[in-house]
């Protein structure tokens, strides 16, 4: 690629997912960030110039009042790139920040200097930038995980029969707010709390449903620290009358999930494809007599709880080419198989792992046993 171009406007409304890697804070008018082997140029509205200059990331920061066209075309003519990589993708949402309207605007401007046919997708570049975590990024993720795990420990002491999903979620939210942190995703469903066998199971807000003896309770939750997320799930069992240990059906389900995660981790390594890792988890569940789960066994985590292009999932239409993308050192994935225990609820665990040069290591502290309530 001769040139990588990020083209945005009114980013508080419609920001490109890559923008936090390029500048701090929002931008108002048409703005262009040009990265080439020879130089980096930012072209922004007059009021945004100082904030962009303060990043010290650009060789040149140009500003305008009436319109971006003259400065932008002059910059592109001077570079005269053979290809211009822009942020669109049919397969990866994190690489698809250029809106259709902005693409048309860009195409119209470039046609004035004969460069409109040189536009190509920046998917490979953007994917690599987001997926290969630096030591600093990993440090932020570790801190987010540590806080998330501490809150899980606190909520384990709070859950009890008679409390509702919403009460449990409010307890977690107070801890996050008292710590002055952000939620890893929308607080309407962060945390997501599910108790018993008749729930939405995922991606739904906590309800007034009460915890009861014999229920499996699971919670999906994470915080964001310095811009980076944790995304973990933990399962609890609410002791029934006269029970001194986890009943066999719940223990079997839980042990199967633990085994599926560990077997998947052993397959997770550089050069592997995500669909092979996913296949391992499904095989473990099938051999234990359980049905498959309706999602990939793991996704990447970064500035968003769901981040990156490569995915640990099956070759389903909704995942496009993501399960075929090669896994690389520095990627951070979740592993999160799930299964149903009839009459009890959903048993699931979600761990976070870092891909290393020769395998994958846990970033989270693996849940090995059912948490008894």
Burial environment of residue 106 by CB neighbours within 10 A (0 to 12, 13 to 18, 19 or more): buried
**pLDDT digit string, tens, across residues 173-205:** 999 999 999 999 999 999 999 999 999 989 899
- Furthest-apart CA atoms within the chain: distance in Å: 80
- In this structure, are 211 and 359 located in the same domain? yes
Neighbours of 372 (CB within 10 A): 13
One domain for residues 210 and 254: yes
- Which of 105, 130, 155 is a domain's end point? 130
Question: Same domain, yes or no, for 264 and 212?
Answer: yes
Q: E strand or H helix at 35, and its extent?
A: strand 31-35
Q: What is the mean pLDDT of residues 216-233?
A: 97
pLDDT of residue 255: 97
Instruction: Using the 3D structure, point to which of 109, 130, 151 is the last residue of a domain.
Output: 130
Q: Do 141 and 57 fall within a single domain?
A: no
Instruction: Provide the mean pLDDT of the chain.
Output: 97
Give the mean model confidence (pLDDT) for residues 127-135. Answer: 96
Is 246 in a helix, a strand, or coil? coil
The residue with tokens 């953007």 is 126
Q: Are residues 116 and 145 in the same domain?
A: no
Domain boundary among 108, 130, 152: 130
* Average pLDDT over every residue of 233-256: 95
Distance in angstroms (rounded) separating the CA atoms of residues 175 and 221:
12
Q: Does the pLDDT of residue 291 top 90, yes or no?
A: yes
Give the pLDDT mean for 317-341.
97
| Residue 109 and residue 139 in one domain | no
Interval 274-282 mean pLDDT? 98
* 8 Å CB contact between 16 and 115: no
CATH of the domain at 213: 3.90.230.10
Q: What is the dihedral of CA 325, 328, 331, 333, to 10 degrees?
A: 50
> Do 31 and 160 fall within a single domain?
no
Residues 115 and 229 in one domain: no
CATH of the domain at 13: 3.40.350.10
Is 1's pLDDT higher than 90?
no
CB hemisphere CA count around 60 (13 angstroms): 14
Helices (H), 203-318: 248-267, 274-287
The three-state secondary structure class of 308 is strand
pLDDT score of 38: 92
147 pLDDT tier (thresholds 50, 70, 90): very high
Beta-strand ranges (E) seen in 283-366 are 298-300, 307-312, 332-335, 338-341, 345-348, 351-356, 359-362
Please name which of 56, 20, 15 lies closest in space to residue 137, comparing C-alpha atoms: 20
* Same domain for 302 and 263: yes
Q: Are residues 40 and 188 in the same domain?
A: no
CA atoms within 13 A on the CB side of 287: 12
Residue 358 clears pLDDT 90, i.e. is over it: yes
pLDDT band of residue 295 (cuts 50, 70, 90) is: very high
* 136 shares its domain with 281: yes
Residue 254: pLDDT band by 50, 70, 90 thresholds?
A: very high
Side-chain half-sphere exposure of 325, counting CA atoms within 13 A: 24
Task: Tell whether 90 and 152 lie within a shared domain.
Answer: no
What is the residue range of 8's domain?
A: 3-130
Q: List Cα–Cα distances, 328 to 222, 263, 271, in angstroms.
A: 24, 19, 6
Residues 278, 297 contacting (CB under 8 angstroms): yes
Which residue is associated with the tokens 């570049």?
Answer: 125
User: In the structure, what pLDDT confidence band is assigned to residue 328 with cuts at 50, 70 and 90?
Assistant: very high
Are the C-beta atoms of residues 312 and 304 closer than 8 Å to each other? no
Radius of gyration of the chain (CA): 23
Domain count of the fold of the chain:
2
Residues 29-82 have pLDDT tens digits of: 999 999 999 999 999 999 999 999 999 999 999 999 999 999 999 999 999 999
CA angle 326, 314, 124 (to 5 degrees): 30
């Amino acid at each position: 690629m001769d040139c990588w171009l990020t083209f945005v406007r009114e980013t508080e409304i419609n920001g490109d997912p890559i923008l936090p890697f390029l500048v701090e804070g929002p931008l108002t008018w048409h703005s262009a960030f040009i990265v080439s082997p020879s130089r980096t140029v930012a072209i922004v509205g007059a009021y945004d110039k100082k904030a962009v200059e303060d990043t010290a990331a650009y060789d040149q920061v140009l500003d305008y009042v009436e319109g971006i066209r003259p400065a932008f075309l002059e910059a592109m003519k001077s570079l005269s790139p053979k290809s211009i990589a822009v942020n669109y993708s049919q397969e990866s949402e994190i690489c698809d920040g250029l809106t259709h309207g902005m693409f048309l605007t860009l195409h119209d401007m470039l046609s004035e200097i004969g460069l409109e046919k040189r536009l190509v997708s920046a998917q490979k570049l953007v994917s690599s930038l987001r997926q290969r975590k630096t030591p600093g990024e990993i440090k932020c993720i570790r801190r987010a995980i540590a806080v998330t795990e501490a809150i899980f420990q606190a909520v384990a002491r709070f859950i009890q029969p008679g409390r509702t999903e919403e009460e449990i979620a409010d307890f977690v939210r107070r801890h996050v707010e008292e710590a002055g942190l952000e939620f890893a995703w929308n607080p309407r469903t962060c945390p997501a709390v599910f108790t018993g066998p008749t729930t939405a199971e995922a991606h739904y807000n906590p309800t007034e449903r009460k915890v009861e003896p014999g229920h499996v309770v699971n919670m999906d939750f994470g915080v964001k620290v310095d811009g980076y997320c944790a995304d973990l799930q933990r399962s609890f069992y609410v002791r029934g009358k006269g029970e001194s240990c986890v009943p066999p059906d719940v223990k079997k389900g839980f042990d199967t999930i633990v085994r599926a995660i560990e077997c998947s981790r052993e397959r997770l390594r550089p050069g592997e494809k995500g669909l092979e890792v996913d296949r391992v988890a499904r095989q473990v569940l099938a051999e234990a007599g359980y049905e498959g789960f309706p999602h990939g066994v793991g996704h990447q985590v970064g500035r968003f709880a769901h981040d990156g292009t490569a995915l640990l999932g099956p070759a389903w239409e909704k995942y496009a080419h993501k399960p075929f993308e090669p896994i690389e050192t520095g990627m951070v994935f979740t592993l999160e198989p799930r299964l149903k225990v009839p009459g009890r609820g959903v048993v699931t665990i979600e761990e976070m792992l870092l891909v290393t040069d020769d395998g994958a290591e846990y970033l989270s502290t693996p849940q090995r046993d059912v948490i008894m309530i």
